[in-house]
Structure 1
Amino acid sequence: MPAKRKTTKKKRSKRKGATPTNPSLYARVKAEAKRKFKVYPSAYANGWLVRTYKKRGGGYR
């Protein structure tokens, strides 16, 4: 019978979402989204937020 290998658990780094490259622009657009939509956060409002942020020159890393 072959010897059993020890299994080691690899530590996984916490993966957060994409971070905006221009936080001040992102904050302005997010505030506008909160005023524009009755329900925030929602999928529709977040989609609008990402589209508008990118349209105004923002990006993600």
Structure 2
Amino acid sequence: MKKIVTLVALSIIITGCVSSGKVSVKREQLEHHRFVLESVNGKTVTGPELSFGEDMTVS
């Protein structure tokens, strides 16, 4: 019984985290923006950056 209650609770929590909004990212919103990974699991990292150029080229 405890396993079922735990499973149901986890299912409800996970479905609460799903975005059902109709917001979508458009090409114009990504172009000429730079994205940098700053941390992983709370630890600072120095890594490459990701940017989108015209015609959605990635560099």
TM-score above 0.5, yes or no: no
Shorter-chain TM-score bucket reads under 0.3
Q: In proportion to residue count, which structure has more strand? A: 2
Q: In proportion to residue count, which structure has more helix? A: 1
Q: TM-score of the superposition, structure 1-length normalised?
A: 0.24
| Higher RCO (Cα < 8 Å, 6 or more apart) | 1
Q: TM-score of the superposition, structure 2-length normalised?
A: 0.25
